[in-house]
């Protein structure tokens, strides 16, 4: 039934156009736009993400080379480097941020049954940030240090499916812990974060909301033991204590008891000391729960390797945030495609196939039906396969 339609057009069938237009209308994105619409801008930058285009000139040249196919791919305007540059500078980036959240809300239920690798009910989030270095002379608005600029991408990742649920793009100087003020904790959910987020006043806000956190303690944090539980030291556990903060300032910020679990990692030969406000989980679950936080690091590495978020098509803050949010939207759209078509391939493999078949007029599922491809998917790969579900 897809005879005569390009793979790109079939991919965009999973694009919720009505919801996108609501986002555009919310910020008057197409106001006084006679030709080049927000949808055209999204299609151009999505094409750039899927095919690894290097610059606006590269995007223009590639799309103009297939001018006869553009209308059937959804484009309604003539592609021009200058027009696309103007759109990146002037069209509100919040359009694409809101639209990415709509895609995220669609994708998360599809992956809700994915295994965490250990026995735990409920939603588990990992919180972290990654720094994207920029040139100070080109991006002076993002000054980070005296000699360079940078932006930070703060991300809350749902570990069931590695779907980002909250993203904030800030300048490089914003400390990670401040991002906790912008989050609304979900009661009953687990938030796993490293020591950079250890702020007892903010963590107590999570506790009051009924959310659970797992983090690591820092040197210098004064804790007084109230109760000890028996542990099996052959598993790597060394202690499981109920503790309270003993310094006056910290105890005012977090007056309730905490749970401290000491664990010795035989593989890394190091001690790990965890703090959590959950007293019901088995102590041996705390360590693998914290270890699952590494998925957010893999997420950052994956999108930096396979999407365009390290080199930018525009130099303004609006252009940078637009490109990052469209990259996230493309990532989630491909994750939705994977589930709806029940593809065995990893996201990396899907992106690789799409990058060379976007202009082909063949059913999209046929590209993934080849027996040799399925065998390659099942075999081990040297590439980084973040979402090998």
pLDDT averages per 10-residue partition of the chain, 389 residues: 74 91 92 82 93 91 86 83 92 95 94 83 91 91 88 93 91 92 93 93 95 92 91 88 91 94 86 93 90 90 87 93 95 93 86 87 80 47 45
Whether 74 and 98 have beta carbons less than 8 Å apart is answered as: no
- Range list of H helices, the chain: 7-11, 17-26, 38-51, 56-64, 67-70, 81-90, 94-107, 200-208, 248-253, 283-291, 294-306, 317-340, 347-357, 371-378
**pLDDT for position 3:** 55
pTM (global) more than 0.85? yes
**pLDDT for position 370:** 59
**pLDDT for position 95:** 96
Domain extent listing, the chain = 7-100+315-378, 195-282
What CATH fold (topology level) applies to the domain 195-282?
Ribosomal Protein S8; Chain: A, domain 1 (3.30.1370)
Residue 344's alpha-carbon distances to 62, 118, 191, in angstroms, are 30, 22, 30
Whether 255 and 236 have beta carbons less than 8 Å apart is answered as: no
CA distance 254 to 33: 53
Residue with structure tokens 């980070």?
144
**pLDDT for position 388:** 46
With 0-12 / 13-18 / 19 or more C-beta atoms within 10 angstroms meaning exposed / middle / buried, residue 31 is: exposed
């Amino acid at each position: 039934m897809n005879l005569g339609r390009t793979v790109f057009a079939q991919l965009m069938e999973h694009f919720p156009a009505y919801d996108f237009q609501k986002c555009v209308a919310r910020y008057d994105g197409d106001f006084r736009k006679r030709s080049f619409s927000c949808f055209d801008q999204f299609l151009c930058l999505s094409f750039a993400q899927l095919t690894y285009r290097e610059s606006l000139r590269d995007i223009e040249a590639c799309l103009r080379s297939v001018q006869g196919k553009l209308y059937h791919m959804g484009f309604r305007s003539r592609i021009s480097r200058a027009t696309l540059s103007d759109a990146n500078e002037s069209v509100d980036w919040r359009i694409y941020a809101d639209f990415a959240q709509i895609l995220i809300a669609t994708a998360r239920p599809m992956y809700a049954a994915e295994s965490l690798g250990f026995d735990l009910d409920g939603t588990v989030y990992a919180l972290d940030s990654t720094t994207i270095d920029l040139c100070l002379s080109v991006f002076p608005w993002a000054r980070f240090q005296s000699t360079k600029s940078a932006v930070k991408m703060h991300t809350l990742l749902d570990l069931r499916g590695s779907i980002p649920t909250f993203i904030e793009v800030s300048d490089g100087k914003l400390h990670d812990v401040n991002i906790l003020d912008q989050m609304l904790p979900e009661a009953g959910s687990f938030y796993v974060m490293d020591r950079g987020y250890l702020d007892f006043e903010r963590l107590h806000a999570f506790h009051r909301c009924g959310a659970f956190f797992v983090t690591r303690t820092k040197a210098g944090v004064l804790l007084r033991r109230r109760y000890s539980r028996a542990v099996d030291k052959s598993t790597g556990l060394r202690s499981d204590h109920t503790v309270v903060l003993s310094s006056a300032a910290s105890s005012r910020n977090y007056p309730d008891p905490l749970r401290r679990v000491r664990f010795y990692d035989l593989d890394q030969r190091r001690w790990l000391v965890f703090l959590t406000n959950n007293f019901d989980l088995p102590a041996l679950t705390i360590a693998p729960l914290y270890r699952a936080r590494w998925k957010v690091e893999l997420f950052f590495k994956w999108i930096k390797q396979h999407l365009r978020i390290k080199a930018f098509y525009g130099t303004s803050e609006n252009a940078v945030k637009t490109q990052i949010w469209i990259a996230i939207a493309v990532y989630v759209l491909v994750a939705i495609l994977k589930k709806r078509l029940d593809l065995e391939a990893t996201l990396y493999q899907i992106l690789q196939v799409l990058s060379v078949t976007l202009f082909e007029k063949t059913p999209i599922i046929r590209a993934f039906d080849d027996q040799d491809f399925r065998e390659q998917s099942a075999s081990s790969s040297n590439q980084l396969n973040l979402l090998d579900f």
